[in-house]
């Protein structure tokens, strides 16, 4: 194969030529992988080849080593490890040689490929000489070799986990990198590459950061680099500081004053990319401190790893004024541009984080700024003042904020209608939303919305929904939180008189020509949903009137034929919003018998539409439609059976959707809904459903979060079909048993423990459903062989002492169900178990009522089982 | 390396309404599930409280109890067996040998053809080689022969079978496979799966175990070609339904290993340690090099030899449970040779042979040869002795097997309608 020509063709503008070239590359790769990779590395190293083919060769090589998809990645790694050793050595030698190439693109490509190879080989103790040979390169004279080598070290640190490289080599890498950064290095490109490499190498410097002298030196070099004449180096140096702020928070105390001075200067004087990093340093410190404070509730005790140093609290007298200054540097059209990110936005965001970190202390530092600027003729000052106000609404106590809000509310409402500047109105509407989010609702003692101002607030918000899309979207958001605050207001809501008008306005918004801008239409439907969710019985007839309206809208989306892919996406998005809205309505109306009865007259029509929505797609099902069908099944009860013949194939499709695991999880939930609705009428569909669920469990492609609901679903099915579950018993039990064994013991971080508890809960719900399903059937004895294992599982998780309340409740319930269903057959086993004694007693004296209730049930069932 | 994106959400709510809808749905489903279960429990608990106040004797029939109590006991035995598997991985030295020696399921020899062969049985060609248990746990794999001695100690791709980066060699997971090590291709042919990844399969039917074996073993990568690190390959064997074509395929089919007879597995049988009539072995000259037992020198002795265990009451018995007695040993020999009960002794079957009455062994003409080889862990089984005896006298031929599949007896035994012709 003439590889150069093929690689050139692969970049041709002519689609046919390109396709042809790609095809022959693919073919060659399939026929002879080592030969193919060798050829590519040969192309990359060859100085006589055009730069574009060298780059592409390197890129293909890189893609042969790594992929975004986890499964694929594992395959590629395996493939490389099994590749012929000679070919690999040649490829690697070529890559290293390319680092000395005069062509910068070739060097840079080789850097990345080397790092990928290192990422695979170093953990397997292969290529041990790599780091040594890179380090010897650093001492070579040509600057471009040095630069490429440092870049490679940087990529390498990004690819490889720190525990793979021993401390001696880490020290040498850090030394080389730090030497590259320091002022004694004359070449700017080398310094830049070294600074960027340090960013990735910081994760390796744990030991070095524990040594005072080495840490001082590292910090000095980084701080000096923030003063470099080259803006890219300054930016990279600040990135290092940001990374240090989260990785080595607890080591920062001696340097924090200096860092403040450096960042303040950068925020005020430096170019924006640098200033943004300087602000990010403080945002990151806020993140660290709120995490620490949330975790330990402010009480630092001996067993927490990292104490809070209260850097933010100490810094606010200087930090807050600095951030307030940034608020005045807005860009004209930042609210229309979704991708915008500038110093004013970063500063405002940081101010909000500071407020969350320090609470009340921030209020007196910000109020004078608001007062001074909020009435100024320059829109920048009014907007900055409003943004500052909005930013501090989360964190400080309601007692501190409510007096301010009471004064500001009228002003805000006026600004939202009258301010000539759209930017100010946008921020004002957002601030109103924040006021309602944090200071309105049953949790706040003194209401800020009263009979006196409610009418005005709603009028202003509905008025603003006619404003520009970005302002209208924020107004919808404010209304969302306004409605949410009345969620548990009782039988009569202050919104009732306005309900019709609010719904009408929101529907009007959804029909605006520009409703797709600034995600306005989404916001309008979301607000409509919240208004419906939080409505009371008084307005049920009005919610019922919404059904034909939304149904018609959904019907209209089905009209279009032969849509382009863009139109299809729009259609699908709109269908999602409408199905979501119907779901909320169904759930609302289904929750009371009287409204459910009236609603059900629409059920056939709605279900027909959902099925048509499914039919719009060929390969996947619409998650929102699936969620809505779950709600419909719940409302319809046994009547849902008539939809099953047509719906079943979509149910199956949803269960098979591994890629969009949310869809799969939602569908599993819907199976549960249908089980409860149909009870034994689900039997004809059980074979297919159980087969698919078992397949899902044994797949390693399925996202782990879907597995617990699948187990719960076994319980739902067993409870619905009773002894008919016998068919699946062995399979279900074997899957449950192996999962139970895996989830008995937990070692890992909080996230894993949380997952394990979810998994346990799913397993236990399955056992409960199965026992209850077989109860009173002549086939109860089929369960006896499983009892020892289940009791062992209960004892096991009890002894681990790390289950949460939900698991505790479900677990003790299973003990009861087991005793109830098996009775005397399990008596001796139950009596031998720890669960029937210590665990049961612990639950009986629990303060959690749900646990107690389940425990009492278990006690009753056990007493009965052992008394016979 | 491009600068890192540091954009944070701006003027945005932390959670989308869609996510909220999902979560609310889950909440509703969880609530409904609780309600459904609660309802079931309330129903039960009201029945319970009613019944427990009623006189005990009326609540249940004692006869049912008796039956099921024995079942429960049986199951609790199974439980302690399962527990042992975990504990066994921690045993050391002679204990571990003894433990493993007792764990294999041992086929009986086929001395007559079972009913419903084609419906209820699997058949496959048994590889010639060393029968062993392969146990992977804690990042290493050990194979142990029938007598408990270690054959190999090696890393494998089985779960927990080698030290890996992801630490999958945790104490919780282990595998136990029933294998035959085939010397010439250095392959472990897995003939049964006892535990997989911490999950015991003792109580599963052969049907399920074979299904699990075929899907899991392949998935684990243990069947891949050997590498420097993973020296030994694992392989499954082709298993057939024991209908005519399956039996024929197992008998004549080409396999990558040397055959040593055919194994028959009853599909519904659990993995039961020790001798079981639900797994049978059969062989003839076409499918095995070792039809007739050889002696220590590899030669076929002129007389059939058997190994029997000496009991307290001087009875000579097989390894079956319950043991079958072949007669009593002369007190003289016991005293002279200082034999203790429990010892394994070797005998030849004399010209008198074995005589049967109503299919039961009545008399055996035994000639005492001496103590058996120390490597032996068990006496011969009854079926083995009989099979060997038959081989030397009137063997069960493959045609007999095929014929029994064809015979109408073996078809579904549903009575067909008979038309009355009057």
What's B288's DSSP letter?
B
SS3 of B142, please? strand
Nearest one of A840, A827, A854, A756 to A798, comparing CA atoms: A840
Structure token pair of residue A388: 């500052």
Nearest one of B369, B379, B375, B385 to B315, comparing CA atoms: B379
Structure token pair of residue A197: 């490499």
Q: Distance (Å, rounded) from C-alpha A329 to C-alpha A270?
A: 13
Render pLDDT for A262-303 as a digit per residue (tens, 0 to 9). 999 999 999 999 999 999 999 999 999 998 888 766 455 545
Mean pLDDT on A15-27: 91
Among A3-17, B44-58, B60-74, the minimum mean pLDDT is found in B60-74
pTM of this structure: 0.67
Phi, psi (deg, nearest 5) at residue B189: -85, 120
Cβ–Cβ under 8 Å, residues B275 and B282: no
Q: Distance (Å, rounded) from C-alpha B310 to C-alpha A630?
A: 70
Neighbours of A719 (CB within 10 A): 28
Is B25 in contact with A669 (Cβ distance < 8 A)? yes
- In A188-231 the beta strands, taken as DSSP E runs, fall at none
- When pLDDT is cut at 50, 70 and 90, the band that residue B40 belongs to is low
Does residue A389 belong to the interface with chain B, where contact is any CB pair within 8 Å? no
Q: Distance (Å, rounded) from C-alpha A584 to C-alpha A525?
A: 11
Neighbours of A695 (CB within 10 A): 12
Summary count for chain B: helices (H), strands (E): 9, 17
Rounded to whole angstroms, what are the CA distances from A738 to A230, A312, A733, A789, B172? 59, 49, 8, 10, 11
SS3 of B345, please? strand
Query: Which secondary structure element, helix H or strand E, spans residue B264, and what is its range?
Result: strand B259-266
Nearest one of A18, A12, A6, A80 to A43, comparing CA atoms: A6
pLDDT at A105 over 50: yes
Q: Which residues of A touch B2 (CB under 8 A)?
A: none
Q: How far is B211 from chain A (nearest CA, A)?
A: 11
Among A467-471, A672-676, A680-684, B7-11, the minimum mean pLDDT is found in B7-11
Is A529 in contact with B13 (Cβ distance < 8 A)? no
Render pLDDT for A771-784 as a digit per residue (tens, 0 to 9). 999 987 888 889 99
Q: Is A657 left (phi over 0), alpha (psi -120 to 50) or beta?
A: beta
Query: Which of A111, A201, A672, A793 best probes binding to B when mutated, by most B CB atoms within 10 angstroms?
Result: A672
Compare B378 and A131 and report the one with higher pLDDT: A131
- When pLDDT is cut at 50, 70 and 90, the band that residue A699 belongs to is confident
Is A864 in contact with B203 (Cβ distance < 8 A)? no
Does residue B64 belong to the interface with chain A, where contact is any CB pair within 8 Å? no
Does residue B2 belong to the interface with chain A, where contact is any CB pair within 8 Å? no
- When pLDDT is cut at 50, 70 and 90, the band that residue B262 belongs to is very high
Max distance between CA atoms of chain A, in angstroms, equals 92
Render pLDDT for A521-580 as a digit per residue (tens, 0 to 9). 999 999 999 999 999 989 999 999 999 999 999 999 988 777 888 888 888 889 999 999
Query: Which of B23, B27, B29, B50 best probes binding to A when mutated, by most A CB atoms within 10 angstroms?
Result: B29
Phi, psi (deg, nearest 5) at residue B379: -75, 170
What's A638's DSSP letter?
G
**For position B79, what pLDDT does the model report?**
32
Nearest one of A209, A293, A221 to A253, comparing CA atoms: A209
Query: Which of B16, B37, B168 best probes binding to A when mutated, by most A CB atoms within 10 angstroms?
Result: B37
pLDDT at B295 over 90: no
pLDDT at A55 over 80: yes
Q: Which of A273, A525, A785 sits opposite B75 (nearest CB)?
A: A785
Nearest one of A93, A78, A91 to B229, comparing CA atoms: A78
Rounded to whole angstroms, what are the CA distances from A201 to A154, A241, A251, B151? 7, 13, 17, 47
Q: Which residues of B touch A784 (CB under 8 A)?
A: 68, 71-72, 75
SS3 of A529, please? helix
Percent of residues in chain A assigned helix, strand, coil, to nearest 5: 80, 0, 20
Nearest one of B22, B37, B43 to A809, comparing CA atoms: B37
- When pLDDT is cut at 50, 70 and 90, the band that residue A406 belongs to is very high
Tokens 């190994």 belong to residue: B307
Render pLDDT for A603-633 as a digit per residue (tens, 0 to 9). 999 999 999 998 887 666 788 999 999 999 9
Residue B308 β-bridge partners: B345
Tokens 């040969």 belong to residue: A42
Q: Which residues of A touch B59 (CB under 8 A)?
A: 868
Cβ–Cβ under 8 Å, residues A409 and A450: no
Render pLDDT for B232-252 as a digit per residue (tens, 0 to 9). 899 999 999 999 899 999 999
Is B199 in contact with A741 (Cβ distance < 8 A)? yes
| Residue A318: cis peptide before it, omega within 30 degrees of 0 | no
pLDDT at A763 over 70: yes
Is B65 in contact with A824 (Cβ distance < 8 A)? yes
**For position B176, what pLDDT does the model report?**
84
Does residue A764 belong to the interface with chain B, where contact is any CB pair within 8 Å? no
Mean pLDDT on B224-234: 84
Q: Distance (Å, rounded) from C-alpha A91 to C-alpha B389?
A: 66
Pairing of strands B121-127, B105-109: unpaired
Q: How far is A155 from chain B (nearest CA, A)?
A: 8
Q: Is A490 left (phi over 0), alpha (psi -120 to 50) or beta?
A: left
Instruction: List the end-to-end C-alpha distance of chain A, in Å, as a whole number.
Output: 83
Structure token pair of residue B30: 């969880």
Compare A668 and B170 and report the one with higher pLDDT: A668
Q: Distance (Å, rounded) from C-alpha B237 to C-alpha B125?
A: 8
Neighbours of A666 (CB within 10 A): 27
Render pLDDT for A214-270 as a digit per residue (tens, 0 to 9). 999 999 999 999 999 999 999 999 999 999 999 999 999 999 999 999 999 999 999
Among A39-48, A140-149, A247-256, B357-366, the minimum mean pLDDT is found in B357-366
Q: Which residues of B touch A472 (CB under 8 A)?
A: none
Cβ–Cβ under 8 Å, residues A589 and A599: yes
Is A860 in contact with B24 (Cβ distance < 8 A)? no
Does residue B68 belong to the interface with chain A, where contact is any CB pair within 8 Å? yes
In DSSP notation, A676-717 reads HHHGGGGHHHHHHHHHHHHHHHH-SSS-GGGHHHHHHHHHHH
Is A155 in contact with B1 (Cβ distance < 8 A)? yes
Rounded to whole angstroms, what are the CA distances from A62 to A18, A317, A800? 20, 50, 45
Q: Cα-atom radius of gyration of chain B, to the nearest Å?
A: 28
**For position B65, what pLDDT does the model report?**
31
Q: Distance (Å, rounded) from C-alpha A427 to C-alpha A440?
A: 19
Q: Is B327 left (phi over 0), alpha (psi -120 to 50) or beta?
A: left
Does residue B215 belong to the interface with chain A, where contact is any CB pair within 8 Å? yes
Q: Distance (Å, rounded) from C-alpha A202 to C-alpha A249?
A: 13
Is B33 in contact with A715 (Cβ distance < 8 A)? yes
Q: Which residues of B touch A576 (CB under 8 A)?
A: 18
Q: Distance (Å, rounded) from C-alpha A245 to C-alpha A252?
A: 7
Cβ–Cβ under 8 Å, residues A351 and A323: yes
**For position A198, what pLDDT does the model report?**
95
Q: Distance (Å, rounded) from C-alpha A357 to C-alpha A286?
A: 6
Compare B23 and B132 and report the one with higher pLDDT: B132
CB–CB contacts below 8 A, A to B: 175
Half-sphere exposure of B92 (CA within 13 A, CB side): 0
Q: Distance (Å, rounded) from C-alpha B270 to C-alpha B283?
A: 24
Query: What does the buried/exposed string (b/e) look like for A239-266 if buried means 16 or more CB atoms within 10 Å of the residue's CB?
Result: bbbbbbbebbbeebeebeeebbebbbeb
Cβ–Cβ under 8 Å, residues A263 and A276: no
Alpha helices in B102-224 (DSSP H): 117-120, 206-220
Does residue A828 belong to the interface with chain B, where contact is any CB pair within 8 Å? yes
Is B172 in contact with A742 (Cβ distance < 8 A)? yes
- Enumerate residues 81 to 120 of chain B having a beta carbon within 8 A of any beta carbon in chain A: 82-83
Q: Cα-atom radius of gyration of chain A, to the nearest Å?
A: 32
- When pLDDT is cut at 50, 70 and 90, the band that residue B415 belongs to is very low
Burial category of A782 from C-beta neighbours within 10 Å (exposed 0-12, middle 13-18, buried 19 and up): middle
pLDDT at B291 over 90: no
Q: How far is A280 from chain B (nearest CA, A)?
A: 7
SS3 of A750, please? helix
Is B4 in contact with A676 (Cβ distance < 8 A)? no
Q: How far is A169 from chain B (nearest CA, A)?
A: 21
**For position B48, what pLDDT does the model report?**
39
Of all residues in chain B, the one with the smallest CA distance to A81 is: B227
Render pLDDT for B187-209 as a digit per residue (tens, 0 to 9). 999 999 888 876 667 767 888 88
Cβ–Cβ under 8 Å, residues B232 and B102: no
Among A47-51, B104-108, B385-389, the minimum mean pLDDT is found in B104-108
Q: Which residues of B touch A532 (CB under 8 A)?
A: none
Render pLDDT for A154-177 as a digit per residue (tens, 0 to 9). 999 999 988 889 899 999 999 999
What's B6's DSSP letter?
-
Does residue A744 belong to the interface with chain B, where contact is any CB pair within 8 Å? yes
Torsion, Cα of B6, B12, B14, B17 (10° steps): -140
Of all residues in chain B, the one with the smallest CA distance to A717 is: B33
Alpha helices in B192-232 (DSSP H): 206-220
Q: Distance (Å, rounded) from C-alpha A316 to C-alpha A311?
A: 9
Among A36-40, A808-812, B11-15, B409-413, the minimum mean pLDDT is found in B409-413
Cβ–Cβ under 8 Å, residues B92 and B376: no
Does residue B37 belong to the interface with chain A, where contact is any CB pair within 8 Å? yes
**For position B2, what pLDDT does the model report?**
60
Q: Which of B33, B45, B49 sits opposite A672 (nearest CB)?
A: B33
**For position A765, what pLDDT does the model report?**
95
- When pLDDT is cut at 50, 70 and 90, the band that residue B161 belongs to is confident
């Amino acid at each position: 194969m003439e590889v150069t020509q093929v690689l050139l063709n692969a970049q041709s503008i002519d689609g046919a030529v390109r396709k042809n070239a790609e095809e022959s590359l693919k073919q060659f790769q399939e026929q002879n992988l080592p030969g193919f990779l060798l050829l590519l590395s040969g192309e990359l190293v060859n100085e006589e080849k055009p730069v574009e083919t060298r780059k592409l060769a390197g890129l293909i090589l890189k893609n042969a080593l790594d992929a975004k998809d986890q499964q694929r990645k594992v395959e590629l790694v395996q493939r490389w490890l099994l590749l012929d050793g000679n070919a690999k050595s040649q490829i690697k030698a070529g890559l290293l040689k390319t680092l000395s190439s005069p062509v910068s693109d070739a060097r840079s490509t080789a850097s990345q490929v080397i790092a990928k190879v290192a990422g695979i080989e170093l953990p397997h103790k292969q290529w041990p000489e790599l780091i040594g040979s890179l380090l010897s390169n650093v001492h070579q004279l040509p600057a471009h070799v040095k630069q490429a080598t440092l870049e490679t070290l940087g990529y390498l640190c990004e690819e490889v986990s720190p525990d793979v490289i021993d401390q001696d080599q880490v020290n040498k890498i850090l030394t080389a990198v730090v030497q590259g950064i320091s002022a004694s290095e004359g070449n700017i490109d080398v310094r830049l590459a070294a600074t960027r490499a340090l960013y990735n190498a910081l994760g390796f410097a744990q030991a070095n950061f524990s040594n005072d002298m080495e840490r001082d030196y590292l910090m000095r070099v980084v701080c000096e680099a923030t003063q470099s004449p080259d803006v890219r180096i300054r930016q990279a140096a600040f990135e290092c500081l940001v990374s240090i702020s989260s990785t080595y928070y607890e080591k920062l105390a001696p340097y924090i004053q200096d860092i403040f001075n450096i960042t303040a200067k950068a925020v005020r004087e430096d170019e924006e990319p640098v200033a943004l990093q300087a602000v990010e340093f403080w945002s990151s410190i806020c993140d660290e401190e709120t995490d620490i404070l949330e975790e330990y509730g402010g009480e630092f005790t001996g067993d927490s790893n990292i104490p809070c140093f209260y850097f933010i609290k100490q810094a606010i007298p200087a930090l807050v004024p600095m951030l307030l200054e940034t608020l005045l540097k807005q860009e004209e059209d930042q609210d229309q541009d979704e991708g915008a990110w500038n110093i004013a936005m970063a500063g405002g965001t940081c101010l909000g984080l500071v407020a969350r970190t320090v609470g009340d202390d921030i209020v007196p530092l910000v109020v004078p700024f608001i007062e001074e600027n909020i009435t100024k003729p320059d829109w920048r000052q009014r907007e900055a003042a409003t943004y500052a106000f909005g930013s501090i609404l989360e964190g400080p106590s309601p007692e501190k904020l409510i007096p301010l809000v009471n004064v500001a509310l009228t002003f805000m409402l006026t600004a939202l209608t009258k301010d000539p500047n759209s930017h100010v109105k946008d921020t004002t509407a957002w601030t109103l939303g924040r006021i309602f989010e944090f200071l309105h609702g049953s949790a706040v003692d003194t209401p800020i919305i009263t009979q006196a101002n409610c009418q005005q607030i709603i009028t202003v918000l509905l008025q603003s929904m006619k404003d520009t899309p970005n302002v209208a979207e924020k107004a919808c958001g404010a209304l969302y939180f306004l409605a949410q605050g009345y969620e548990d207001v009782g039988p009569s809501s202050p919104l009732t008189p306005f309900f019709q008008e609010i719904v009408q306005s929101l529907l009007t918004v959804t029909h605006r020509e520009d409703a797709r801008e600034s995600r306005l239409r989404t916001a309008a439907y979301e607000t409509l949903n919240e208004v419906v969710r939080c409505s009371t019985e008084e307005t049920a007839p009005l919610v019922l009137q919404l059904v034909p309206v939304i149904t018609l809208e959904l019907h209209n989306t089905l009209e279009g034929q032969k849509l382009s892919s863009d139109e299809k996406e729009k259609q699908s998005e709109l269908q999602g919003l409408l199905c979501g809205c119907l779901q909320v309505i169904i759930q609302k109306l289904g929750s009371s018998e009287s409204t459910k009865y009236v609603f059900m007259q629409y059920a056939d029509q709605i279900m027909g539409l959902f099925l048509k929505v499914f039919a719009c797609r060929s390969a996947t099902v619409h998650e929102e439609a699936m969620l809505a069908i779950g709600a419909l099944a719940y409302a319809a009860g046994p009547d849902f059976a008539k939809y099953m013949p047509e719906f079943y194939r979509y149910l199956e499709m949803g269960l098979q959707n591994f890629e969009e695991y949310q869809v799969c999880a939602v569908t599993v939930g819907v199976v549960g809904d249908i089980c409860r609705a149909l009870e034994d009428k689900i039997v004809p569909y059980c074979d297919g459903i159980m087969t698919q669920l078992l397949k899902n469990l044994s797949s390693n492609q399925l996202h782990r979060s879907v597995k617990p609901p699948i187990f719960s679903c076994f319980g739902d099915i067993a409870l619905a079909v009773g002894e008919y579950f016998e068919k699946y018993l062995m399979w279900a039990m074997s899957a449950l048993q192996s999962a139970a064994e895996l989830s008995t013991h937990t070692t890992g971080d909080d996230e894993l423990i949380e997952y394990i508890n979810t998994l346990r809960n799913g397993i236990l719900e399955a056992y409960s459903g199965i026992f209850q399903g077989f109860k009173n059937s002549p086939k109860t004895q089929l369960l006896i062989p499983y009892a020892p294992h289940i009791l062992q599982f209960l004892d096991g998780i009890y002894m681990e002492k790390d289950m949460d309340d939900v698991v505790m409740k479900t677990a003790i319930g299973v003990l009861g169900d087991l005793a109830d269903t098996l009775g005397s057959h399990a008596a001796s086993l139950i009596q031998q178990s720890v669960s029937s004694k210590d665990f049961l007693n612990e639950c009986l004296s629990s303060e959690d009522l749900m646990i107690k209730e389940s425990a009492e049930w278990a006690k009753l069932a056990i007493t009965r089982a052992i008394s016979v | 390396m491009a600068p890192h994106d540091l954009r944070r959400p701006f003027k945005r709510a932390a959670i989308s309404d869609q996510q909220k809808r999902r979560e609310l749905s889950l909440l509703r489903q969880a609530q409904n599930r609780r309600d459904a279960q609660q309802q079931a429990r309330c129903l039960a608990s009201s029945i319970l409280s009613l019944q427990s106040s009623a006189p005990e004797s009326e609540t249940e029939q004692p006869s049912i109890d008796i039956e099921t109590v024995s079942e429960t006991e049986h199951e609790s035995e199974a439980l302690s067996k399962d527990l042992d598997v975990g504990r066994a991985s921690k045993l050391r030295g002679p204990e571990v040998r003894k433990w493993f020696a007792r764990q294999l399921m041992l086929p009986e020899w086929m001395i007559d053809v079972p009913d419903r062969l084609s419906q209820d049985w699997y058949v496959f060609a048994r590889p010639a080689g060393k029968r062993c248990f392969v146990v992977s746990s804690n990042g290493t794999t050990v194979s142990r022969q029938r007598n408990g001695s270690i054959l190999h100690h090696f890393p494998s791709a089985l779960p927990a079978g080698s030290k890996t980066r992801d630490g999958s060699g945790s104490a919780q997971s282990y595998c136990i496979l029933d294998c035959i090590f085939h010397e010439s291709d250095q392959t472990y042919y897995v003939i049964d799966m006892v535990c997989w990844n911490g999950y015991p399969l003792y109580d599963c039917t052969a049907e399920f175990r074979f299904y699990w074996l075929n899907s899991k073993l392949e998935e684990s990568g243990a069947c891949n070609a050997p590498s420097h690190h993973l020296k030994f390959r694992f392989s499954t064997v082709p298993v057939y339904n024991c209908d005519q074509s399956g039996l024929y395929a197992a008998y004549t089919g080409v396999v990558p290993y040397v055959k040593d007879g055919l194994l028959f597995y009853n599909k519904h049988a659990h993995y039961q340690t020790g001798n079981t009539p639900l797994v049978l072995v059969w062989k003839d000259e076409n499918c095995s090099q070792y039809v007739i037992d050889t002696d220590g020198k590899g030669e076929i002795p002129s007389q059939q030899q058997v190994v029997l265990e000496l009991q307290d009451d001087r009875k000579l018995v097989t390894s079956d449970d319950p043991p079958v007695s072949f007669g009593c040993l002369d007190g003289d020999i016991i005293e002279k040779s200082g034999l203790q009960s429990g010892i394994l002794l070797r005998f030849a079957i004399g010209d008198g042979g074995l005589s049967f009455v109503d299919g039961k062994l009545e008399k055996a003409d035994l000639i005492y040869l001496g103590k058996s080889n120390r490597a032996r862990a068990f006496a011969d089984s009854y079926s083995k002795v009989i099979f060997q005896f038959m081989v030397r006298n009137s063997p069960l031929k493959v045609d007999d097997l095929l014929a029994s599949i064809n015979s109408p007896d073996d078809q579904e035994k549903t009575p067909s309608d008979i038309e009355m012709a009057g």
